[in-house]
A and B are shown apart, each in its own frame.
Chain A
Amino acid sequence: MDSFRSAAERLYRRLVGLYPGDFRAEFGDEMRLLFKDRSRDERLDRLLFEVLVDTARTAPREHVSMWFQDLRYAWRSMRHNPGFTFVAAGSLALGIGASAAIFSLADALLLRPLPVRDPGAMVAFRNGAEGGGWGGQFQSVSWLDYRDLRERTRTLSGLAASREFDAALSRGGDETLLTMGQLVSGDFFSVLGVQPALGRGFSRAEEEAESGAPVVVLSDATWRGSFDADPAVLGRTVKVNGVALTIVGVAPASFTGLDLLLRHAFYVPISMAPALLGEEGRAVLAKRDWRGLRVDGRLRPGSSVAAASAEIATLAKNLAAEYPETNRSQTLDLRTPLAARIESSPPNGALVNMLTTLVGIVLLIACANVAGLLVSRSAGRSREIAVRLAVGASRTRLVRQLLTESLLLALLGGTLGLALAFAGVRFFRAIPMPTDIPIVFDARLDTRVLAFSIAASVASACLFGLVPALRASRRDLVTSLKASASSERGTGRILGRKSLVVVQVAFAVVLLAAATSLFRGIERTLHDDPGFRTTHLLTATFDPGVRHYTPVQVRAFYRELLERGAALPSVRAASLTHAIPMSNGQMMFSFLPEGYDAGPARTSLTTFGNVVDPGYFDVAGVPLLRGRAFAKTDDAGAPPVVIVNEALAARYWPGQDAIGRRVRVGGADAPFAEVIGVARTHHYLWVGETPQDFLYRPYLQDDSARLTLQLLTEGDPRDLAGAVRGLAASVGPDVPLQNVVALEDLYRARGVKLPRMIVTTVATMGLAGLLLALVGLYGLMAFSVSQRTREIGIRMAVGADKRSVLTMVLRQGLGLALPGIVIGLVGSFAVAGLLAATVAGVSPRDPAALVAIPVVLVVVTMLATLAPALRAARLDPRDALRQE
């Protein structure tokens, strides 16, 4: 019986262990004693049952009640210090809100994973022989190479090939939607792990069908937009580029396509390429050197990106040996989807990099602020904490309580921050996309942004909550109890806070300098002549290619369009161009100046370029500095010619005349073209770009069927929109027409509004940094004055006047700001250098930034210090001395 009893006592000891530590420390012994007493007097089995039930009921309650007590305590202490709470939570809200907003932007531009099953296992094929920039390298696998790779790989479980193309989509009837579709391999959906919401994906048989399989899978958006989400859509027919296709499936809403921004309207098996694209389509399937497919691979479980990349590189080498004619200089390797996005869009990478760096600085300043506030408050609270330790509160409990307080603060800041982030996302969503092409800039606050904000708040709570908490609770009881608030022990802490404030000011200077030079740089560029005409121009884009016009028909179509366009009333001139400056449809060319060594394993370089007609340079207002414009005689039968811009000429023929030089435009077997003119360099992609190489080809020597008509008008070009539509309907009623807009509107959206948004974003961060640093400085000065009340009182008692006290405090504030300003200016040199290299017009040593920012900061420091200084000067020495 006794052994049973001692076993029961041991069991109860265990049960008591389930209560919170503080409760145990207070009542654990008592409870065990009570159990022992009762076990002597009562039936043991009944007693055991009772205490089991009792523990199950009361132990959780004690935990919850302790937690609530911590929360209540934290809440009360926040409510009693509204100023502190406001400043601390506000600082965090700024930091967290800014980082969540920037994260949303980065997410929409770069980071969001592919909308496929297990996106972490996806890899992108990169062609090392193609030039870099704008995704060229990632859309450069040929169909025949793809089929061989698919058979031979052992590290990838599947390869999905795709190729986007311009398409005219109609449901029958006469309404036609000019959009973009994708040609895909038969296993596209199965490799991506995308299960169609309706119907099915494609099969290998449909991919290989000799004359093409006329089937189509619609995107969710097309299904909803053009078919009213009709569940009976399967089996119906749509026409793509005039070819009837049977709908066999609808992609799920979650699958928005492989591109972050571009939304494809539908998917067709690649065997349809000849039927849909004509000559080019036949080349897609038949020619090993027609390299224009995007290939996404899925790693086999257990294989790494590095191993798979090495294998693909070897396989590419084998192909080069087997097919030296076409594959001699070809190399392939793999990238993660994120790396591929960054490599294929360096400007986005740079933008995200710059913004995340800046926002990281804002977050740091915010955390420094809160840390500073908490540290100085912990000084004020050390007495309270010591008292509570003396009356028996455990240290862990105290640390927990202080942590709860920081956590609550962080959550409050996080919630406010999320509200700010919402505002930021709304701002970013307004990024203009003035085009009919289905591009969606999908910035949104999703669960990952939410997770990011919560992680940021909790991390900062631990960061700034734990250190003061541990420090405060480790203090020596006796000295704390004896010490007054102004004790000498405060010095170390003040020194820590001083360095925090210096760092904050330095960061604020860096932020402001970056914002100022970016602002001035971009504003300067915007005031400058963009280098091309932006007013009195109406544009309209045509694509007879989707109607299977032959090259001869295409030429006839555009000839008539030009002639009749120029004859419209109030039109001064008409011209044709493939790309409009700063719009999305920029062209890339492979090229090689004659005799230029592109380096080992590279047969060509890449540059931006355009295809234009003879009248383009006059109409677009791009001056030719040397040589001549294209002529009507520069056609397919004449020797190939090309016009380059100053930047390209200066790069490859520095100090020499470019006229008469020869450039190969296209692949290794393309003929050399003679340079007949040099055009002035202007901004091609956005106003902030550094000078870009650029070349022009005559449209009669290029087979591109998609061209934009530009009309130079006497009056408001918008008045002519109707006339242009009428003209289009009469010249080619079946040719889809797109983007009938005034160039001025395009330019304002892409050339002016977008850069201004970036500037606004950076400026907002600069101001946030300044505000935060100001608050930090004010907090420290106010704290320091309250600590020095007695000292100031003595000074005044022995004859110091108000004026000298005021100067003393102001000088102390300046003493903090000046080192910060100096350090910040040094740091901003580095940042400005970086900015100047990526954004045109930014000068690395902007005098305005160098002079204005220190002045602004000194003024702001004075303001932040003024209130505490006045308080000090107004002290009554008698009160100050009596305070002790």
Chain B
Amino acid sequence: MADIDDDPTPESLQPLAPAVFHILVALAGGERHGYSILREVEGQTGGLRLGPGTLYGSIKRMLEQGLIEEVRAPRDAESEDERRRYYRLSRFGRRVAEAEAERLSDVVKKARAHGLLPQRG
């Protein structure tokens, strides 16, 4: 079902939905399954909990857009976890995450310039 005829660029996907960006960031550290993504996002955002529909809806679209890929459960995973699906960033997903982080950091710079944040150092 992937679009073959119009290859997307990272910029064409911007701005990313917050959930998508959070999931990309959560996967930047390595492959994870759904529950682990959820916990990671909760940790990195200070308490944002993605509902299961939101989480898997985002995952579905990210798979379709080629941002992430499904991988086999790692050997060392606990036995129960073998049933789970693991995901990792694709090369394209990493580029998109970088571009989005760049864009957000520009926003932060502007915010700082306007005095919304204390000047660094």
Q: Check if B46 is an interface residue, CB within 8 A of chain A.
A: no
Q: Which residues of B contact A388 (CB under 8 A)?
A: 1
Question: B30-62: contact bitstring with A at CB < 8 Å (1 yes, 0 no)?
Answer: 000011001000000000010111111101110
Q: Check if B5 is an interface residue, CB within 8 A of chain A.
A: yes
A19-B53 in contact (CB<8A) = yes
The minimal Cβ–Cβ distance linking A710 to chain B, given in whole angstroms, is 75
Chain B residue at minimal CB-CB distance from A388: B1
A34-B1 in contact (CB<8A) = no
Q: Check if A35 is an interface residue, CB within 8 A of chain B.
A: yes
Known: A26-B60, A69-B1. A55 touches B53 (CB 8 A): yes
Q: Check if B103 is an interface residue, CB within 8 A of chain A.
A: no
Known: A27-B60, A33-B83. A58 touches B34 (CB 8 A): no
B interface residues, how many (CB within 8 angstroms): 19
Segment touching B, from A46-54, A121-129, A211-219: A46-54
Query: How many residue pairs at the A-B interface have CB separations less than 8 Å?
Result: 60
Q: Check if A5 is an interface residue, CB within 8 A of chain B.
A: no
CA distance A392 to B52 in the complex (A): 22
Q: Which residues of B contact A50 (CB under 8 A)?
A: 49, 51
Q: Which residues of B contact A38 (CB under 8 A)?
A: 35, 38
A54-B53 in contact (CB<8A) = yes
CA distance A460 to B33 in the complex (A): 46
The minimal Cβ–Cβ distance linking B52 to chain A, given in whole angstroms, is 4
Chain A, interface size category, equals 20 to 34
CA distance A19 to B57 in the complex (A): 10
A35-B52 in contact (CB<8A) = yes
A37-B35 in contact (CB<8A) = yes
Q: Check if B112 is an interface residue, CB within 8 A of chain A.
A: no
CA distance A418 to B3 in the complex (A): 34
CA distance A55 to B61 in the complex (A): 17
A27-B59 in contact (CB<8A) = yes
Q: Which residues of A contact B85 (CB under 8 A)?
A: 30
Q: Which of A27, A29, A59, A69 has the most CB of B within 10 A?
A: A27
B35-A54 in contact (CB<8A) = no
CA distance A61 to B34 in the complex (A): 20
Q: Check if A76 is an interface residue, CB within 8 A of chain B.
A: yes
Interface residues of A in 40-92 (CB under 8 A from B): 50-51, 53-55, 57-59, 61-62, 65, 69, 73, 76
B53-A58 in contact (CB<8A) = yes
Overall SS of chain A's interface: helix
Q: Check if B91 is an interface residue, CB within 8 A of chain A.
A: no
Q: Which residues of B contact A393 (CB under 8 A)?
A: 1
B57-A30 in contact (CB<8A) = no
Interface residues of B in 1-21 (CB under 8 A from A): 1, 5
Q: Check if B72 is an interface residue, CB within 8 A of chain A.
A: no
Q: Check if A290 is an interface residue, CB within 8 A of chain B.
A: no
User: Which of B35, B52, B60 is in CB contact (< 8 Å) with A51?
Assistant: B52
Q: Check if B84 is an interface residue, CB within 8 A of chain A.
A: yes
The minimal Cβ–Cβ distance linking B4 to chain A, given in whole angstroms, is 10
Known: A34-B38, A38-B35, A50-B49. A27 touches B1 (CB 8 A): no
B53-A34 in contact (CB<8A) = no
Q: Which residues of A contact B57 (CB under 8 A)?
A: 23, 58, 61-62
The minimal Cβ–Cβ distance linking A35 to chain B, given in whole angstroms, is 6
Q: Which residues of A contact B83 (CB under 8 A)?
A: 29, 33
Chain A residue at minimal CB-CB distance from B53: A58
The minimal Cβ–Cβ distance linking A74 to chain B, given in whole angstroms, is 13
Chain A residue at minimal CB-CB distance from B6: A76
Q: Which residues of A contact B84 (CB under 8 A)?
A: 30, 33
Question: A859-880: contact bitstring with B at CB < 8 Å (1 yes, 0 no)?
Answer: 0000000000000000000000
Chain A residue at minimal CB-CB distance from B49: A50
Q: Check if A209 is an interface residue, CB within 8 A of chain B.
A: no
A53-B59 in contact (CB<8A) = no
Chain B residue at minimal CB-CB distance from A61: B57
Q: Which residues of B contact A65 (CB under 8 A)?
A: 61
CA distance A76 to B2 in the complex (A): 12
B54-A34 in contact (CB<8A) = no
Interface residues of A in 764-781 (CB under 8 A from B): none
The minimal Cβ–Cβ distance linking B121 to chain A, given in whole angstroms, is 40
Q: Which residues of B contact A35 (CB under 8 A)?
A: 52
Excluding A54-B51, A62-B53, A393-B1, 16 further A-B contacts by CB distance (< 8 Å) are A26-B60, A27-B59, A30-B34, A30-B56, A31-B34, A31-B56, A33-B34, A33-B35, A34-B38, A38-B35, A50-B49, A54-B54, A57-B54, A58-B53, A58-B54, A73-B1
Residues of A within 8 A of B (CB): 19, 23, 26-27, 29-31, 33-35, 37-38, 50-51, 53-55, 57-59, 61-62, 65, 69, 73, 76, 388, 393
Name 22 A/B residue pairs within 8 A (Cβ), A-sorted.
A23-B57, A30-B56, A30-B85, A31-B52, A33-B83, A34-B34, A34-B52, A34-B55, A35-B52, A37-B35, A38-B35, A50-B49, A50-B51, A51-B53, A55-B51, A57-B53, A57-B54, A58-B54, A59-B53, A65-B61, A73-B1, A388-B1
